[in-house]
A and B are shown apart, each in its own frame.
Chain A
Amino acid sequence: MRETPNFTGWRATILHRPDATTDRLTRQLKLLGLHVSVQWEPLASTDLPDIVLVDADQGWDDLLPWHDSKAPLPVVALLGSEAPGRIAWAMEQGAGAIIAKPVAASAVYPTLVMAVAIHAERTVALRQLQHLEERVRLRPLVHGAVQKIMAARNVDEEHAYSILRNCAMQRRFPMEQVAALILAGAEPLPEAG
């Protein structure tokens, strides 16, 4: 079960020309406990808020200080247009959820919850991806270390691999790291177990 989302004390920046839409959003965000600022100029890359709500109807590329959907925080798009180009722009800014204009009060809380959850999911997925990429990149080292153990201990590949794995487990290192140490000669060659 998920915990009741609570935004008390969060800082939200609305990037939108001040008008009835921003008034309505500000009211609703404030009663959810957020501190709200409204601006219609590019967001500074320093002192970022906790969440950004951006006008996707009129937003331009430099409004947000990041590119390639790599938003470092949850982004909500405010969208009246149905033009595919504007939807694409919103996604390129990293928007995880959309509030349609005119803003319905009942849309705000669910959208925040969803945008925050999607951003968290993306962050976790990105971290996992980077971790896996790193392991793939270091795979040749593991192969090299297995070859070295096979030759030194006169065992088959499967056996050599399990020696390496046991060694990594005992030292609580990733296999790739132990393999690199073995190849560099910084680690004594493990005994055949």
Chain B
Amino acid sequence: MADAVKIGILYSTTGPYGAIGRDSRDGAEFAMDEIRAAYPGAVEPVFIDPQGHIPDYLEGARSMLREHGCRHIVGTITSIARKEVIPLVEKHDGLLWYMCPYEGFEANENVIYTGACPNQHLLPLFDYLLPRYGRRPYLVGANYVWGWEMNRLARELISKAGGEVLGERYLPLEETAVERIILDIEQRRPSFVLNNLIGPASYAFLRAFRALGDRDSAFLPENCPVVSCDLSECELDEIGAGVATGHFSVAAYFDSLVSPENLAFKAAASRRFGPQRRLSNIFASAYAAVKLCGETIVAAGTDEPQAVRRALSGVPLSTVFGPVRIDPDTNHMALPFLLGRINDLNGFDIVNAQPAIAADPYLTRRRTKTPVRLRIVS
């Protein structure tokens, strides 16, 4: 390759989900530096920071595709930003690498999804929770499609399980007045709380819930846990050490994961970011996405999106999540399910783990009942 292939990195490091964006960008930068060290002159990043403003995502993507000649963009955090950027990526026949957990119901040819969708997070989470904590949850969520759709699905799962949703409330990302919701939860006394809030709203909620547990033991984490599908290490410091101890979150990666891939990953990351740095699912996902993108481009000798997609699809890929595959039909990555319980050191103790689950973004396989197996009686 004569000129370095440019790869766009589109994350907001400020704004309500800035903590997530900073970790994403660090993970992406880390991967990019490794690729550039291994293959000097092969790839080059183009960083643009939309600072949480939706119009700036579109402008950033436009600039990457038109002015910088990028055909690959790794980025966007929220579904609103992803949906905003996709039509432009389609128009330029580029490839968007999306690596956050999301609500599913999408499978675009111009997107590689390395973040989990509900059959990889919410469904196994409920399989774990309902028998242990009960079927009467309270649902809270961010006031946009992530919160709405996750809670709609939760309601469907609860109703199928014969349970009851005791309440459902929404807050904008930056709203921290959570008292009325906490009061409502205190009165209704759910068996657990599904937290689909994002950013400051989520952090304020967890702090207030801690105070509720302090005055009423029914709301201690062991009795009524708060469970999230996206809360990660990089956000726990914003909440405060020990504040969210005992509550749960789902991820494909936790810093505490003991695996050969992770031990090597952590050793390399600690040389760069220091031994104190706790890595998150978001950091690892951005790292994995950039690594896959860059290394596939180098191996294929082209950044032509069709060729890159073909080279990636269906073959075993070694990632920090372990060996995984990207489904050539849905463009989604299979991902392991890890359930972590927050500890006093703001890390996660892994309490349940399942090997890589193939993504089913439209939940088409969910109700396909497995036939009753007849026992052979000899």
Contacts and interface: CB of A to CB of B under 8 A. Distances in A.
B107 A31 contact: yes
B156 interface: yes
A24 B273 CA distance: 44
A31 B156 contact: no
Contacts of B330: 31
B109 interface: yes
Given A31-B330, A105-B109, A106-B108, A4 B90 contact: no
Interface in B334-378: 362-368
B329 A32 contact: no
Given A4-B153, A8-B368, A109 B363 contact: no
Nearest to B327: A31
A66 interface: no
Given A31-B107, A33-B362, A109-B362, A3 B156 contact: yes
Contact of A8 (B153, B329, B367): B367
B46 to A, nearest CB: 26
B152 interface: yes
Nearest to B110: A105
Nearest to A102: B90
Interface string A24-60: 1001101111000000000000000000000000000
Contact of A30 (B90, B105, B329): B329
B156 A32 contact: no
A7 interface: yes
A4 B363 contact: yes
A105 B362 contact: no
A172 B42 CA distance: 82
A106 B106 contact: yes
A28 B363 CA distance: 14
Interface residues of B, number: 23
B367 to A, nearest CB: 6
Contacts of A154: none
A104 interface: yes
B298 interface: no
Contacts of A32: 362, 364
Contacts of A8: 364-365, 367-368
Interface string B85-115: 0110010000000000000011111000000
Given A6-B363, A31-B330, A32-B362, A1 B108 contact: no
| Residue with the highest number of chain B CB atoms closer than 10 Å, among A31, A104, A105, A109 | A31
Contacts of A28: 107
A105 B107 contact: yes
B278 interface: no
Interface size class of A (residues with CB under 8 A): 10 to 19
Contacts of A24: 109
Contacts of A109: 105, 362
B189 interface: no
B59 to A, nearest CB: 21
Contacts of B87: 104
Contacts of A4: 153, 156, 363, 366
Contacts of B159: 1
Contacts of B155: 1
Given A1-B155, A1-B156, A106-B108, A7 B364 contact: yes
A41 B362 CA distance: 31
A6 B364 contact: yes
Interface string A1-21: 101101110000000000000
Interface string B116-153: 00000000000000000000000000000000000011
| Residue with the highest number of chain A CB atoms closer than 10 Å, among B86, B90, B107 | B107
Contacts of B83: 106
A6 B363 CA distance: 7
A104 B90 contact: yes
A32 B367 CA distance: 13
Contacts of B329: 27, 30-31
Contacts of A33: 362, 364-365
Contact of B366 (A1, A6, A31, A105): A6
Given A1-B156, A31-B329, A105 B365 contact: no
Interface in A66-117: 104-106, 109
B86 to A, nearest CB: 7
A31 B362 contact: yes
24 contacts: A1-B152, A1-B156, A4-B153, A4-B156, A4-B363, A6-B364, A6-B367, A7-B364, A24-B109, A27-B109, A27-B329, A28-B107, A30-B329, A31-B107, A31-B329, A31-B330, A31-B362, A33-B362, A33-B364, A104-B87, A105-B107, A105-B108, A105-B109, A106-B108
Given A7-B364, A8-B365, 8 more contacts: A4-B366, A8-B364, A24-B109, A31-B330, A32-B362, A33-B364, A104-B90, A106-B108
Interface of A: 1, 3-4, 6-8, 24, 27-28, 30-33, 104-106, 109
Interface of B: 83, 86-87, 90, 105-109, 152-153, 155-156, 159, 329-330, 362-368
Smallest CB-CB A-B distances: 8 pairs? A33-B364, A8-B364, A31-B329, A105-B108, A32-B362, A31-B107, A31-B330, A4-B363
